Chains A and B, each alone.
Chain A
C-alpha cells in the first residue's frame, strides 16, 4: 500500500487510522485532534469550573496517565483555571502495585502535580495481601472493589477536594453497558453511562465529609486504542500490569466481545456507548438513579479509577460484584430499605415493576422481592439514604458494605464465607454469625 497522507494537514504521512470515523491522520494532527475532543467533552458537559481542585485517580496505567497528561495540557492551553492533583490508592499488593506506584511518582514529577498515595492498610487496617491470605483468591476482588470505591472518596475528602476524575474510556463504558444489558440491570446501566456521578450529599452538611464527592470521566468518549496510541506517540511513561490475584482476567467475555466487535466494525464501541445513553434516558430517574441503593454499598467496579484489572478486565471480580449488587438489592428490598429515586414524574408502581423485572430477569428467581418493594413509600431520599453508623459513609443500610466486609475480616471469618450469596446472607443475619465463625480462628490471626 502506498503511504496515505494525513486527512487534515495533507502533508505528513498518516500513521493513525481513527476507529470512530476511519480518518487517516499523521502523528501531530492525531495528538491535536485527540486533545481537542477531550476538551470538547469537558466543555460541553461542563465538567469543571474555574478554581476547582480536581484529584486525578492515578494508577500509573495508560488511562490515568493519559488523563493526567491531557488535563495538564488542556488546563494550560484553554486556561480552565483548575488545580490538578494526583491521588493513588495502594491496595497493598506486593509485586503489582509497587511498580505502578513508582510510575505515578514519576508522573507527579513529569506533570508537576502533587501526589497523595493512600493505602488500604492506612484506611482499613488491611492490605489486599492480608485480605487474600484470609479469604483466599476467590472473591477477593469484591473486597478490593468496595474498598477502592470508598478509598478515592476518602482520599479526596482528606485533600479537601470535591471532584475526582477517573480514566474510564469508551471501551470501559461500552463493556459495562453490555454487561448490564446482559444482566438486565438497566438502572445500573443508566448510572454507569453518565459522565458525571456523585455520591449524593443527602445527609452531609459537613464540608469535609467523604460522602459528597463528584466523579467524572473525561475520557468517556475516547477509544482505548487511541489512548494507547496517544501514550505511544507522546512517549508517555505508563505501566502495564495485571493484578496478580486475577491473572488472565482480561479474557473477560464482555471485554473480548467489545474487542471482537471493534475489529469488525470499529465504530461499534461508541455506538454501544450512545445506545447505553439512550437506554439510560428510558430508565426511570436515570440521572439520579445513583441515589438508589447503589451509591455507597455498591462495589461499583465500573467506577473505580486506578485499577485496570478491576476496570472491566476482571471478569470474575466484576461479575461477582454484580452478583453482590443484585443480591444486595434483594436484601434491601426485603428489608424495605429500597431507596426511592427522586424523579417526580415516575410513579412508584412503574418503578417497582421495572425493578422487580430487572432483578428477576437477572436472578432468574421470582417473587422474593415483592414484599419489600410493595411497601416502599415515596419519600424524600434524604430520609432513606443514611450514613453508615461506623464510618459515616453514605449508605442505604445501617452499616456500609466496607464496614461489613471489614467486620468479617476483623473477626477472622473462615474461607468459605466469601461465597457471594452466602456473604450477603451473612450480612443479613448480622454480627452473630460473624462472631461464631470468628471463634474458630480467632486465635490464629490477630489483627
Chain B
C-alpha cells in the first residue's frame, strides 16, 4: 500500500487492463492507470512477475487471488498481452516493464 502512495522518480507509469471476465476481480474496472515501483524488493527491475505480485497486493480487492494467480504465476488460461504482443514472445514473466507499457490480462476461462 505504501509504495503506491509515494510518488517519486523510482516509479513507472503503466496501463494495466483486464478483460474476458477478469475485470470482475478488479473492482469491475477494465482499465487501470498505475504507477508501480521501478524496482522490486530485491532491487532488480520490475517485471511481469513483480507486477502480478503488486496487483495482488495493491489493486485487487477481491479475496479470490487464486482466480488470477496460481502457483506463483498467472493462472493458466489467462492470456497476457504486452503492448498487444503475446507475453510468450516477450519473455513471459521475466519481461522488464517500461514506462508507458500496456499490459493486458485476458481470461479465456469465462463463458458467455
Task: Count residues of A near B (Cβ-Cβ below 8 Å).
Answer: 48
B20 touches A240 (CB 8 A): yes
B89 touches A241 (CB 8 A): no
A17 touches B88 (CB 8 A): yes
Interface 1/0 per residue, A212-253 and B, CB below 8 Å: 000000000000110111001100001111110000101000
Report Cα–Cα, A224/B106, bound state, in Å: 12
A61 touches B86 (CB 8 A): no
B19 touches A13 (CB 8 A): no
Residues from 80 to 95 in B contacting A, C-beta threshold 8 Å: 81, 84-86, 88-91, 95
- Chain B residues near A17 (CB, 8 Å)? 86, 88-89
- Chain A residues near B111 (CB, 8 Å)? 59, 61, 240-243, 250, 307-311, 313
Min distance, Cβ A265 to any Cβ of chain B, angstroms: 12
Q: Is A15 an interface residue (CB 8 A)?
A: yes
Task: Count residues of B near A (Cβ-Cβ below 8 Å).
Answer: 27
B89 touches which of A4, A225, A262, A306 (Cβ 8 Å): A4
Taking CB as reference atom, which chain B residue is nearest A18?
Answer: B86
- Chain A residues near B106 (CB, 8 Å)? 228, 232
Q: Is A286 an interface residue (CB 8 A)?
A: no
A24-B89, A242-B21 as given contacts; A306 in contact with B67, CB under 8 Å: no
Taking CB as reference atom, which chain A residue is nearest B22?
Answer: A240
B76 touches A238 (CB 8 A): no
B107 touches A240 (CB 8 A): yes
Q: Is A14 an interface residue (CB 8 A)?
A: yes
Report Cα–Cα, A61/B19, bound state, in Å: 12
Min distance, Cβ A232 to any Cβ of chain B, angstroms: 6
Report Cα–Cα, A24/B88, bound state, in Å: 10
Residues from 89 to 116 in A contacting B, C-beta threshold 8 Å: 100
A240 touches B79 (CB 8 A): no
Min distance, Cβ A260 to any Cβ of chain B, angstroms: 5
Interface 1/0 per residue, A3-25 and B, CB below 8 Å: 11000000001111100000010
Taking CB as reference atom, which chain A residue is nearest B19?
Answer: A240
Interface 1/0 per residue, A247-268 and B, CB below 8 Å: 0101000011001101100000
Q: Which 6 A-B pairs have the closest CB atoms?
A: A61-B112, A308-B111, A240-B21, A59-B112, A259-B76, A259-B77
B contacts, CB < 8 Å to A: 19-21, 24, 64, 67, 75-77, 79, 81, 84-86, 88-91, 95, 104, 106-112
What are 29 A-B interface contacts by the 8 Å CB criterion?
A1-B90, A3-B85, A13-B85, A14-B89, A15-B84, A15-B85, A15-B89, A16-B86, A17-B86, A17-B88, A24-B89, A62-B20, A64-B112, A225-B108, A227-B108, A228-B108, A232-B81, A232-B104, A238-B112, A240-B107, A240-B110, A240-B111, A240-B112, A241-B21, A241-B110, A242-B21, A248-B67, A307-B111, A310-B111
